[in-house]
């Protein structure tokens, strides 16, 4: 991992403290990623994105911002990045997946809330995330209680707007959501000082559709048995999707897909056909949270699908590009976003059908449901998932954990016992 203290200083970071952090990332990265055998060569781009995470991409965003492109930070795949691109801004996902910032957050926030919220908040309070420092505006949402109440506090450190995400999907909820999308568009236009007209929104939709489509292609190639790519590499790419430049990212994903197609036709795989195939479902795994994938793959299985917002929920649906006016564009955009089956909705039965569909498409042989500690909605929804799996004879296990390494041994034992059933 390279360093750029001059840039970090300009971003108002705690440079002394931050300078010690990239080394940890390097060691973890070497163990988890670079030690893998027979990785696709096109993973080099994504390795480089991580090696340069605190220099290259952040420098690129900083320079673009100096050139008049404001930066919007988000925490949920419900916030429509198409509209940020349409208005000439940059959109980056800011969710936190690191243990290192939790203690900062716990000086202010209660301890018994979701680690993702604490990690993200701690990054801002401790001034130890350059991406958090570069954003002009944060757009939060009212999905879960931990997030929506944290935004009130986060607003003291960085301007934080909040959009209301309905909790149901009736017609009146869809109307409310359309109004929220329009408010979001106006807020982004205010900071970019640009009105996103029909052509600009078309271009924004095309760019983000292309990114999502590239990920769809990659995910369907990785479903091949034997797997041409590991689950942890796929997760890494899904994480990088939230901060890379979207056009270049899509191109690099397609280059990797081309290589995977060749690997499939020549029978070149990362694990033999007999390897147990596991699908992960549940809460998002924000960068650098690789804990569960590492445990599963170190136990001799391979992860073949992530039913998660850092996973298929982010890219399974595209926006219809055939609109003829701006109103229709925004309606179609809201329709696409309303298909996201987050457990914050009630009822959320579409998710059951989606999990089953992805289970079958990926050729998985068991589901491990991943729930971040204190995430009540996913935790309770796991009851229905378990019932559905039991009724169909699908091996199912749910795990509730946080970012600390303390339960690694216990999780390893549970995962190994689960794999024996397969």
What is the distance in angstroms between the CA of the first residue and the CA of the last residue of the chain?
Answer: 39
**Are the CB atoms for 371 and 383 separated by under 8 Å?**
no
Size of the site for ligand BJ8 (CB under 6 A): 21
**Using the rule CB under 6 A, is 241 a contact of ligand BJ8?**
no
Label residue 346 exposed, middle or buried (CB < 10 Å: 0-12, 13-18, 19+): exposed
Q: Which token pair is 413?
A: 């034992």
Which of 143, 227, 348, 354 touches ligand BJ8 by CB under 6 A? Answer: 143
Which of 99, 160, 239, 283 touches ligand BJ8 by CB under 6 A? Answer: 283
Q: How far apart are CA 47 and CA 131, in angstroms?
A: 18
**Are the CB atoms for 75 and 147 separated by under 8 Å?**
yes
Reference 58, options 73, 43, 41; nearest CA is: 73
Give the count of beta carbons closer than 10 Å to the beta carbon of residue 391: 8
Which of 121, 294, 378, 403 touches ligand BJ8 by CB under 6 A? Answer: 378
- Part in contact with ligand BJ8 (CB under 6 A); list of ranges 13-21, 75-83, 124-132, 272-280: 75-83
The β-bridge partners of 280 are 306, 368
**Using the rule CB under 6 A, is 98 a contact of ligand BJ8?**
no
- Part in contact with ligand BJ8 (CB under 6 A); list of ranges 191-199, 244-252, 374-382, 395-403: 374-382
- Part in contact with ligand BJ8 (CB under 6 A); list of ranges 20-28, 140-148, 295-303, 325-333: 140-148
**Using the rule CB under 6 A, is 144 a contact of ligand BJ8?**
yes
**Using the rule CB under 6 A, is 154 a contact of ligand BJ8?**
no
The helix (H) or strand (E) run that includes residue 182 is helix 171-192
Gyration radius from the chain CA atoms: 21
Nearer to ligand BJ8, 214 or 286 (CB): 286
Phi and psi (nearest 5°) for 220? -75, -30
**Using the rule CB under 6 A, is 147 a contact of ligand BJ8?**
yes
- Part in contact with ligand BJ8 (CB under 6 A); list of ranges 61-69, 254-262, 338-346, 405-413: 338-346
**Using the rule CB under 6 A, is 399 a contact of ligand BJ8?**
no
**Using the rule CB under 6 A, is 372 a contact of ligand BJ8?**
yes
**Using the rule CB under 6 A, is 280 a contact of ligand BJ8?**
no
**Are the CB atoms for 359 and 303 separated by under 8 Å?**
no
Binding site for ligand BJ8 (CB under 6 A): 76-78, 114, 116-117, 143-144, 146-147, 283-284, 309, 313, 340, 342, 344, 372, 375, 377-378
């Amino acid at each position: 991992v390279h360093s750029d203290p001059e840039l970090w200083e300009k971003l108002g970071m705690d440079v002394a403290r931050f300078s010690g952090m990239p080394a940890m990332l390097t060691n973890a990265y070497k163990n988890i990623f670079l030690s893998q055998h027979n990785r696709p060569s096109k993973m080099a781009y994504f390795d480089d994105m991580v090696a340069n995470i605190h220099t290259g991409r952040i420098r690129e965003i900083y320079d673009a911002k100096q050139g008049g492109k404001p930066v919007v930070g988000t925490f949920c795949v419900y916030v429509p990045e198409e509209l940020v691109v349409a208005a000439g801004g940059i959109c980056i996902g800011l969710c936190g997946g690191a243990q290192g910032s939790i203690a900062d957050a716990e000086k202010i926030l209660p301890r018994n809330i979701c680690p993702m919220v604490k990690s993200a908040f701690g990054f801002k309070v401790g001034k130890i995330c350059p991406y958090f420092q570069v954003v002009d505006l944060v757009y939060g949402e009212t999905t879960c209680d931990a997030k929506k109440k944290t935004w009130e506090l986060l607003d003291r450190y960085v301007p934080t707007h909040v959009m209301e995400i309905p909790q149901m999907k009736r017609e009146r909820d869809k109307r409310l959501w359309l109004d929220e999308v329009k408010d979001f568009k106006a807020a982004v236009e205010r900071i970019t000082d640009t009105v996103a007209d029909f052509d600009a929104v078309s271009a924004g939709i095309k760019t983000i559709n292309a990114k999502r489509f590239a990920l769809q292609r990659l995910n369907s190639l990785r479903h091949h048995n034997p797997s041409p790519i590991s689950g942890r590499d796929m997760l890494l790419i899904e994480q990088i999707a939230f901060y890379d430049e979207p056009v270049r990212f899509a191109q690099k994903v397609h280059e990797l897909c081309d290589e995977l197609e060749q690997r499939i036709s020549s029978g070149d795989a990362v694990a033999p056909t007999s390897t147990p195939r596991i699908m992960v479902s549940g809460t998002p795994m924000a960068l650098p949270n690789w804990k569960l994938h590492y445990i599963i793959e170190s136990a001799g299985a391979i992860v073949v699908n992530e039913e998660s917002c850092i996973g298929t929920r982010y890219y399974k649906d595209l926006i219809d590009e055939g609109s003829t006016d701006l109103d229709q564009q925004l309606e179609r955009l809201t329709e696409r976003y309303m298909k996201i089956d987050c457990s914050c909705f009630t009822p959320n039965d579409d998710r059951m059908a989606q999990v089953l569909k992805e289970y079958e498409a990926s050729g998985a042989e068991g589901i491990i449901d991943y729930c971040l500690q204190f995430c009540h909605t996913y935790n309770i929804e796991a009851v229905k998932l378990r019932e559905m799996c039991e009724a169909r004879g699908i091996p199912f296990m749910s795990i509730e954990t946080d970012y600390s390494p303390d339960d690694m041994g216990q999780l390893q034992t549970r995962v190994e016992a689960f794999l024996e059933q397969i």
